[in-house]
A = this chain, B = another copy of it.
Amino acid sequence: MRIGALEAGGTKMVCAIGDESGRIKEQKSFPTIDPETTLPELLAYFKDKEIEALGIACFGPVDLDKDSSSYGYITTTPKRAWADTDIVGYFSRGLGVKVGFDTDVNGSLLGEVTYGQAKGLGDAVYYTIGTGVGAGVMSGGKLVHGAMHPEAGHMLLRVREDDPLPDGVCPFHKGCLEGLAAGPAIEKRWGKKAAELGDDIRVWDLESYYLAQCMVTTTVMLSPKIIILGGGVMHQKQLFPLIREKTSELLNGYIKNSRIDDMDHYIVPASLNDDQGIMGCLKLGYDAANV
């Protein structure tokens, strides 16, 4: 089946054509400007591609409630131009095909669970640690939406006493995960971008302390079979052993489960070369037409 994929991000829009096996045949990116400029460009890209369905994984917040009058909308995003944009309606009317729709992080999670190392694991969590922190959650084979969608980036953490930026940078919460551990926090705290701090052990010791708290909370709240960590900050691969070690210390043997004991396969990097999002869109499109 010929499927369109749209990974709608705050800085760029990745469009691709592929199939339900996860194979990407062609791909093109467009800058994210405003709906009046950008949406027609995307529609033109897909228009003559003879796709039978489209999957969209979108920055948010978005409305995922199919019973809601604003289903398929980007809702109250701080990217003002995009607030109250009916993105699903635009493409389903413009292309005349079924459109699957979910959050950007649920798209990445779906990619990993369908085509990546989490294949077949219906209880999985995907975090992206980049300019913000987002979480996608799957439980019993279904992506979790709930009243809205999880916003796990705003979980409250214990701040370490030696943190030079103890309040973090989130305008809403002192000491939440995103405010303490996403890229902008790292840059503000240490004066350089994460990518330029690779060999500074203080940076990754503190960062892994915060991410380990997130791993503990995720484990006890959701009991997943695997936690996948993606996003720009996680390109610092030295973080993984530190996070695993501190997670084990914090759990302190309380959870007796063979999957969690096997930390090297429980907390893992994304496995699809940053194509997990666009591949997840293929699956969203496929499911929209077939499920």
Residues of A within 8 A of B (CB): 61, 75-76, 123, 135, 137, 139-140, 142, 144-158, 172-173, 175, 213, 216-225, 250-257, 259-260
Contact = CB atoms under 8 A, between A and B. Distances in A.
13 contacts: A76-B256, A123-B146, A142-B142, A146-B223, A148-B255, A152-B221, A153-B220, A155-B220, A156-B216, A157-B158, A173-B250, A217-B217, A222-B222
Contacts of A150: 220-223
A171 to B, nearest CB: 9
A61 B222 CA distance: 15
Contact of A147 (B76, B146, B224): B224
Contact of A220 (B61, B154, B223, B260): B154
Contacts of A149: 223
Contact of A148 (B145, B146, B154, B223): B223
A257 B148 contact: yes
A233 to B, nearest CB: 19
A147 B260 CA distance: 9
7 nearest CB pairs, A to B:
A146-B223, A123-B146, A172-B254, A221-B221, A151-B220, A147-B225, A139-B139
A139 B147 contact: no
A113 to B, nearest CB: 13
Given A158-B156, A173-B254, A213-B156, A144 B220 contact: no
Given A140-B142, A144-B139, A256-B61, A221 B155 contact: yes
A250 B156 CA distance: 9
Q: Among the interface residues A147, A224, A225, A255, which one has the most CB atoms of the partner chain B within 10 A?
A: A147
Given A145-B140, A156-B216, A172 B223 contact: no
Given A135-B221, A155-B220, 7 more contacts: A76-B256, A140-B144, A147-B225, A148-B255, A155-B217, A156-B217, A158-B158
A136 to B, nearest CB: 12
A125 B13 CA distance: 36
Nearest to A146: B223
A75 B218 CA distance: 22
A217 B224 contact: no
A101 B260 CA distance: 23
